[in-house]
Homo-oligomer: A and B are copies of this chain.
Amino acid sequence: MTPNPIQDESRKSYELPRTLAWSGGVDGTLALLDQTLLPHRVKNRVCSTAEDVWNAIRELCVRGAPAIGVAAAYGLCLGTRPFRRQSRDDFLAKTREICAYLESSRPTAVNLAWALGRVSKAAQSHPSASVGEIWDAMLAEAHELAREDMETCRRIGEVGAHLIPEDGGVLTHCNAGALATVAYGTALSLMYIAREQGRKFRVYADETRPLLQGARLTAFELSAAGIDVTVLCDGAAASLMSSGKVQLVVVGADRIASNGDTANKIGTLGLALSAKYHDIPFYVAAPRSTFDLSLPDGGAIPIEERPEAEVRGGFGVDVVAPGVRCFNPAFDVTPVELITGIVTEVVLLEPVTAKNIKQIFERGA
């Protein structure tokens, strides 16, 4: 079996707790850093069933498209583990059922389905193996996904780090960092690598209502890494851009359609519009697993609507008059015409076209 790569010490320099880690072997559990408690409490949530993982994803204990993909992969291993002594057909039927269940936890991030597909495929590609061996191969694939995610994220940073302006300001939204992935992050990986390269720059982090992932998570991880970061309300971003303090906007993505239209955390579209008006380059950073080539454009991306309570009382105080509705979409879609480029782990797509997107799936990794 592949050694568990996320027990190594690769993130030590960032002084960050791990987003997720599998502990133990066949009888192991998945520890997820409970991100709903950050920045004040650093506490793991230990999952030993698929239901545990489904709840952790749904409640945003683990979030970020790549991280929920890897978490779900481990969740599939946890969910199928009790059936290792059943017949092959029963086991594979259970695998399909648990896959569909885990996929239902959040609809927008395509990495979730992609990662579950990878683990399912590992199950099916061992026709002569025993069910126990099949399950071992599934866990090995989950470990492999975790290892790949870390490597992929680092490569995204290496491909895009040159975009980070020396002595300039970089604006980001939500958290597309180490906490959204196994390590490094997507958008924030550019910053970590630029910093390794000795570049100096300032980061502005939109707080990102309703759940404040920018204020709570991005500021936490960048400051832990010694990167200069300032938090602002989402509504202040346009004004910050007009003041000339921002030379680059870079965000993550939850799903990218085949034409380049990009779903990302609610608020991203407004940022992209402001960046366009102020002539500031606007980049998306995402692994190839974020692309959904089955969709012609962003109009086909399902957008999760989350509970009103996140807007109404996300801080323990009910701020909206009784009887007034709240609208709480978790994502929006930024049309490709507003996107300067997409940083992937293999190449920087700039400009973004359906043709060059297709090409990154044709060549080798």
Contact = CB atoms under 8 A, between A and B. Distances in A.
A239 interface: yes
A332 interface: yes
Interface stretch (A128-136, A147-155, A322-330): A322-330
Interface in A258-309: 265-270, 273-274, 277
Nearest to A268: B235
Interface in A230-272: 230-240, 242, 265-270
A25 interface: no
Contacts of A231: 311-312, 320, 324-327
Interface in A313-340: 314-321, 323-329, 332-333
Given A207-B209, A208-B235, A270-B237, A219 B328 contact: no
Interface stretch (A27-35, A47-55, A210-218): A210-218
In terms of DSSP, what is the predominant structure of the interface of chain A?
A: mixed
Copies of this chain, whole number: 2
Contacts of A74: none
Interface string A218-230: 0110011000011
Contacts of A220: 321, 324
A91 interface: no
Contacts of A312: 215, 231
Contacts of A273: 238, 270, 273-274, 277
A333 B242 contact: yes
A40 interface: yes
B232 A320 contact: no
Nearest to A275: B273
B209 A233 contact: yes
Given A270-B273, A327-B230, A320 B39 contact: yes
Interface residues of A, number: 57
A192 interface: no
Given A216-B319, A273-B274, A333-B242, A267 B235 contact: yes
Contacts of A328: 232-233, 236
B333 A219 contact: no
B315 A315 contact: yes
A80 to B, nearest CB: 37
A22 interface: no
Nearest to A229: B324
Contacts of A239: 266, 269-270, 329, 332-333
A204 interface: yes
A311 B208 CA distance: 11
* Shortest Cβ-Cβ A-B pairs, 6 listed: A235-B267, A315-B315, A239-B332, A238-B270, A209-B233, A39-B321
B209 A234 contact: yes
B219 A324 contact: yes
Interface in A190-210: 204, 206-210
A233 B314 CA distance: 11
Nearest to A245: B327
Contacts of A270: 235, 237-239, 270, 273-274
Given A273-B277, A315-B316, A319-B212, A230 B324 contact: yes
B223 A324 contact: yes
Given A231-B325, A232-B326, A274-B273, A320 B237 contact: no
